[in-house]
Chain A
Amino acid sequence: MTTQSVPAPAALTREAPSLGGFNVTVLRLEIRRLLRNRRTVIFALIFPVVFFLAFGLNKTYANLQYGHGNVSAEVMISMALYGAVLATTSGGAMVSIERAAGWSRQLRLTPLSPVAYIVIKMLTAMVLGLASVVVVFAVGGLTGKPSMPMYLWIVSAACVWIGSLVFAAFGLFMGYLLPTENVMQFLGIGLALLSFAGGLFIPLSQFPHILQDIAQWTPLYGLNQLVHAPLLGVGVQWAWAVNAVAWLVIFAGGAVWRFRKDTARV
Chain B
Amino acid sequence: MAEERGRRPAAGSQPAAVALRGVRKNFGSVQAVKNIDLDVSSGEIVAFLGPNGAGKTSTIDIILGLSQPTEGTAEVFGMPPRHAITRGLVSAVLQTGGLLKDFTVRETAEYTASLFVRPRPVDEALDRAGITGIADRRVGKCSGGEQQRLRFAMALLPDPELLILDEPTTGMDVEGRRGFWGAIRQDTARGRTVLFATHYLEEADAYADRIILLRHGQIVADGTSSEVKAMAAGRTVRATLPSPDQARLSAIPGADSVEVRGDTVLIHSSDSDAVARYLLTSTPARDLEINTRGLEDAFIALTSDDSDTSAGGSR
Which residues of A are at the interface with B, using a C-beta cutoff of 8 A?
4, 6, 9-11, 14-17, 21, 23, 25-26, 29, 32-33, 36-37, 97-98, 101-103, 105-112, 265-266
A110 contacts B68, CB within 8 Å?
A: no
Extra contacts, 6 of them, besides A111-B117, A266-B68 (Cβ < 8 A), are A6-B13, A15-B87, A98-B100, A106-B94, A106-B97, A111-B115
Residues of B within 8 Å of A112, CB to CB, are: 115
A223 to B41, CA, bound (A): 60
Tell me if B102 and A36 are in contact (CB < 8 A): yes
Given contacts A9-B14, A25-B110, contact A109 B64 (CB under 8 A): yes
Q: Which residues of A contact B292 (CB under 8 A)?
A: none
Given contact pairs A17-B86, A26-B115, A29-B110, A103 touches B8 in the complex (Cβ within 8 A): no
B77 cross-chain contacts in A, Cβ below 8 A: 9, 11
| CB-defined A-B contacts under 8 Å, sample of 12 | A9-B15, A11-B87, A14-B88, A25-B110, A33-B102, A37-B102, A97-B100, A105-B94, A109-B66, A109-B91, A110-B112, A110-B116
Distance of A105 Cα from B99 Cα, bound (Å): 10
Q: Give B66-107 as 1s and 0s: 1 = Cβ < 8 Å from A's Cβ atoms.
A: 111000000001110001111111011010111111110001
Q: In the assembled complex, which residues on chain B have CB atoms less than 8 Å from the CB atom of A266?
A: 67-68
Q: Which residues of A contact B94 (CB under 8 A)?
A: 102, 105-106, 109
> Does B65 have its Cβ within 8 Å of any Cβ on chain A?
yes
B11 at the interface (CB under 8 A from A): yes
Please indicate the chain A residues that have their CB under 8 angstroms from the CB of B154 in the complex. Answer: 106
CB-defined contacts of B200 to chain A, threshold 8 Å: none
Min C-beta distance of B132 to chain A, whole Å = 19
B88 touches A26 (CB 8 A): no
Give chain B interface residues in 128-177, CB to chain A under 8 Å. Answer: 154-155, 158, 161
For B52, the chain A residues whose CB sits under 8 A away are none
Give the complex CA separation of A33 and B104 in angstroms: 10
Evaluate contact between B83 and A103: CB separation under 8 angstroms. Answer: no
Residue contact A106 to B66, C-beta cutoff 8 Å: no
- Looking across the interface, which residue of chain B has its beta carbon closest to that of A106? B98
User: Are A101 and B97 also in contact (CB < 8 A) when A110-B115, A265-B65 are?
Assistant: yes
Contact between A16 and B15, CB atoms less than 8 A apart: no
Interchain nearest-CB distance for B265 vs A (Å): 44
Q: Across the interface, name the chain B residue whose C-beta is closest to A14.
A: B87
Task: Name which residue of chain B comes closest to A15, CB basis.
Answer: B117
* Residue of B9, B65, B98, B155 touching A102 (CB-CB under 8 A): B98
